[in-house]
Amino acid sequence: MTTTTIPLALGAMMFGTTIDERTSFALLDRFVEAGGTWIDTADCYSFWASDTGFGGQSEAVLGRWLAANPGVRERVRLSTKVGAEPIGDGEWPASREGLSRRAIREAIAGSLERLGVDRVDLLWAHMEDRTTPIEETAETFSELVDEGVAVQLGASNHPAWRMERARAHAVAIGGTPFSALQLSRSLLVPRPGTRPAGQNHRFGLMSDEQVDFAVENGMDLWAYTPLLSGAYDNPAKTIDPVFDHPGSTARLGALDAVAAEVGATRGQVVLAWLTGGTTPILPILGGSRLEQLDAALTGVQLELTDDQRARLDAPA
């Protein structure tokens, strides 16, 4: 199971594209200095912002940072994903590498080369591939653990039933099952049947069923976009309209009240709410400035009272 000194993962999605290398290095240095361990990336980051239309920039920046800081590899844990990198000239996401045995092995080989390492601490299946039997995906991921290429296995943007099937197959063959789920999670939840702008994964929003599945199976939970891309605190950003419903109004009221009580920002309270609950969830911060990282590091170390947490949970 994943463990971390600071309950926060540093998201490296935009490193090497919209976040230049100098800033990326500064964020990484600050994160490690503060006791952070998990760094999250993917082989496809960030194809949509690159000049080539393909990913790999984030992993390459991380590789250069690791090379420039001898010994730091033993202080950090690398989390990367495969399965979503575009291939050819077809339209994404229909045209992507997928999760076949061949695709997984080719993808992780590229990731290791860019990162300059011989293993990753957590390898994720990035998004579903219904063209490949989930059993084939589970077997291949398990093989990579046996070969020392990956330490732990996770799946992002997969429904619970697919994970149940994958885990059962891995156990049946005496292999290593998926033990982590990464999905989008925040204090606010969208209206039923809707997805926030940019959420192109059918099962990308963390549901109560997925949480229950993870708890019952002792799986770690990771949350991406926990701060709604800064909309909680940045006046220049608006909260997506899919969150505009009475439940959100009530939760924002409770959030404002708790933030005032603890002397923190909305975002910091949201991070504390995620990390300190009965079911801890590890948030991934994708900020681009040092002050954003510092605020998040403070937020995940806030301790909310049972009463404060109950008020945040109540208006669901």
Strands annotated E in 106-231: 120-125, 150-156, 180-184, 220-224
DSSP class of residue 207?
Answer: P
Which class would CATH give 9-238+267-306? alpha beta
Q: In the numeric block, which tokens belong to residue 185?
A: 């999670």
d(CA 277, CA 270): 11
| Inter-residue contact 149 to 119 (CB < 8 Å) | yes
Placement of tokens 């204090």 in the chain: 187
Q: According to the model, what pLDDT value does residue 93 have?
A: 85
pLDDT reading at 100 higher than 90: yes
Hey, CA dihedral for 94, 78, 40, 220, is it positive or negative? positive
Q: Which residue matches tokens 């077997």?
A: 139
Distance CA(163)–CA(156), nearest Å, equals 10
Reported as a single tens digit per residue, the pLDDT across 217-232 is: 999 999 999 999 999 9
pLDDT tens, residue by residue, 31-84 = 999 999 999 999 999 999 999 999 999 999 999 999 999 999 999 999 999 999
**Token pair listed for 49:** 């912002």
At residue 314, the pLDDT reads 85
Please return the burial class of 54, using the count of CB atoms within 10 Å of its CB with bins 0-12, 13-18 and 19+.
middle
> What's the pLDDT at 267?
98
- Please report which helix (H) or strand (E) contains residue 85, including its range: none
* Cβ-based neighbour number of residue 3 at 10 Å: 9
pLDDT single digits (tens) 188-224: 999 999 999 999 899 999 999 999 999 999 999 999 9
Going from N- to C-terminal start, the domains of the chain cover 9-238+267-306
Average per-residue pLDDT for the chain: 96
Token representation of residue 167: 């885990």
- H-only helix segments in 193-305: 208-216, 246-262, 266-275, 290-299
This prediction has a pTM of: 0.96
Half-sphere exposure of 257 (CA within 13 A, CB side): 12
Other beta carbons within 10 Å of 132: 18
In this prediction, residue 103 has a pLDDT band, given cuts at 50, 70 and 90, of very high
140: pLDDT strictly greater than 60 = yes
> From CA 275, how far away is CA 186, in angstroms rounded?
11
User: Which amino acid does the sequence have at 96?
Assistant: R
Q: How confident is the model at residue 316 (pLDDT cuts 50, 70, 90)?
A: low
